[in-house]
Amino acid sequence: MSTHIGVTFQVRVTDYEEGLSWYKELFNRDPDFIPHEDFAEWEIVKNTWLQVAKGEPAVGNGPLRLGVHDIYSERERLMKSLNTTIEEVQTREGVPAAWCTFSDPYGNSVGLFEELDA
């Protein structure tokens, strides 16, 4: 039986410096680790890493949704700071979460979610 101890998720960007700047704004901080040229990592939560690498974006990946405490205020912050459009917050009866999705400048699908019963 396998025991999983962590998660990594990688997105690729065609312009590394621009992509790095975009993800710094998304996370509101610098990367936690830059192991080599054109590659950066953020530990989103313990043992869960997002890797941003120079390359061609994968078609149809994601979305990678980030959990937040207040989805409405975080959506507004990101629309202003990233100068982007983010879909309206979605909910569905019987689902204890709200979510919204958008894309980075390279077509990688990302988003936000908030647990509503927390």
Domain assignments of the chain as residue spans, ordered by start: 7-115
- The whole-number average pLDDT for the span 51-62 is 89
For residue 3, pLDDT over 90 is answered with no
| Long-range contacts of the stretch 4-9 (C-beta < 8 A, 24+) | 5/47, 6/47, 6/48, 6/49, 7/47, 7/48, 7/49, 8/41, 8/48, 8/49, 8/50, 8/51, 9/49, 9/50, 9/51, 9/64
Query: Do the beta carbons of residue 114 and residue 97 sit within 8 Å?
Result: yes
- The whole-number average pLDDT for the span 96-118 is 92
- Tell me what pLDDT residue 39 has: 94
Confidence of residue 7 (pLDDT cuts 50, 70, 90): confident
- Tell me what pLDDT residue 75 has: 97
- The whole-number average pLDDT for the span 85-98 is 94
Fold classification of 7-115 (topology level): 2,3-Dihydroxybiphenyl 1,2-Dioxygenase; domain 1 (3.10.180)
- Tell me what pLDDT residue 5 has: 75
- Tell me what pLDDT residue 2 has: 61
For residue 57, pLDDT over 80 is answered with yes
For residue 58, pLDDT over 90 is answered with no
